[in-house]
Amino acid sequence: MPIIKLTASEIGMLWTQYVQNTMTLQFLKYFNETVEDDEIKPVVQFAEEFSSTVNEDMQRIFQEEELLVPDGFSEKDVNKEAPKLFTDDFILMFLGSIGKSGVLAYGASLSASSRGDVRQLFSSCITETTELFNRAVDVGLEKGIYVRTPQVDVPREIEYVEGKKYLSPFNKRSLNTIEISHLFENLKTNSLGEAICAAFAQTTPSNEIVAFMKKGEDISSKHIQTFSHILEGSAIHPPMTSNSLITNSTTQTFSDRLIVFLMNVLSTTGQRNYSAASTASLRYDLVLHYQRLSVEVALYAKDGLDLMIKHGWLEEPPQAPDRNELVAHSSS
């Protein structure tokens, strides 16, 4: 049976997931050292074991295909001996977030793959990240720390939109349940991002990185205020999250390269979330808010990429041969 070579999409997806997974694994190793809650610790251990297994499976595919294994991130990017930086509540929120984003990311990777073993790998990843998300939510609900979407009274009869007033940014109707869902989830992710930026700002020794993290914290705070104000306009109380998600530790816990890379990943995720929310929203003022805020996140992400390039931290994905360069080399 002939060997089916990996497609460009499959290589790109494997490369991306491997690098991001090596980053996530450093957090999980640190969490495993610092988590104190006996109900949360098994969820951390499940996530770490899964991430380690996925890394090994991807490494094997790279090696079998005689492709370079990405450097990614390693234990040199985390100080597991550092004091506790994140509270157990934060750890559980983080686990739920990576579970949810993992389902989406691996789903996109699966849809771009055709080779059987690659599809099987990404299918398994979807199953495991779904399990991680469910475990994190279950524990959060049991402990009373998982913030659920608000409950609202809904009409008892089917209704149809009567005129363009439904879409108007001026005569603002109450939010529909789809719009509430997106606003609420973007509030939660920004709350998590705000805490992450604050934690990194107080632990990095670099003034340049402190300024970058402070800017990210300010952006998250502003976006939280925007979404909260919109919800309150429909008499819906925004989610109340703990203000004590991080400790007072100032010991450097993660490398500057890792934390800037994470902010780029979170920025990309935020843009994707805002795009989905913009598409799903039927009130034009919401669409404009999401588009405006998405540009702000994109500019912040560019700052992060510039930082990584400046310091030589940005690893290049595999790329197609430069035919013009090959022609020039052969004729020289």
Cα 56 → chain centroid: 22
pLDDT at 162: 79
Q: What is the pTM of this model?
A: 0.91
- Nearest alpha carbon to residue 303 among 153, 176, 197: 197
| Domain regions of the chain by residue span | 1-146, 166-320
- Cβ–Cβ < 8 Å for 169, 283: yes
pLDDT at 153: 80
The CATH code for residues 1-146 is 1.20.1260.10
pLDDT at 124: 97
- CA geometry: angle 191, 193, 195, nearest 5 deg: 70
Q: From residue 305, give the alpha-carbon distance in Å to each of 33, 220, 291, 312, 316.
A: 30, 18, 21, 10, 12
- How many percent of the chain have pLDDT more than 70? 94
pLDDT at 243: 56
pLDDT at 180: 94
- CB within 8 Å of 63: residues ≥ 6 apart: 69
Q: What is the pLDDT of residues 132-166, one digit of tens each?
A: 999 999 999 999 888 888 888 877 888 788 777 77
pLDDT at 1: 45
Can you give the chain as a three-state secondary structure string? CCCCCCCHHHHHHHHHHHHHHHHHHHHHHHHHHHCCCCCCHHHHHHHHHHHHHHHHHHHHHHHHCCCCCCCCCCHHHECCCCCCCECHHHHHHHHHHHHHHHHHHHHHHHHCCCCHHHHHHHHHHHHHHHHHHHHHHHHHHHHCCCCCCCCCCCCCCCCCCCCHHHHCCCCCCCCCHHHHHHHHHHHHHHHHHHHHHHHHHCCCCCHHHHHHHHHHHHHHHHHHHHHHHHHHCCCCCCCCCCCCCECCCCCCCECHHHHHHHHHHHHHHHHHHHHHHHHHCCCHHHHHHHHHHHHHHHHHHHHHHHHHHHCCCCCCCCCCCCHHHHHHHHCC
Could you check whether 1-146 and 166-320 share the same CATH topology? Answer: yes
What CATH superfamily classification does 166-320 receive?
Ferritin, core subunit, four-helix bundle (1.20.1260.10)
Ranges under pLDDT 50 in the chain: 1
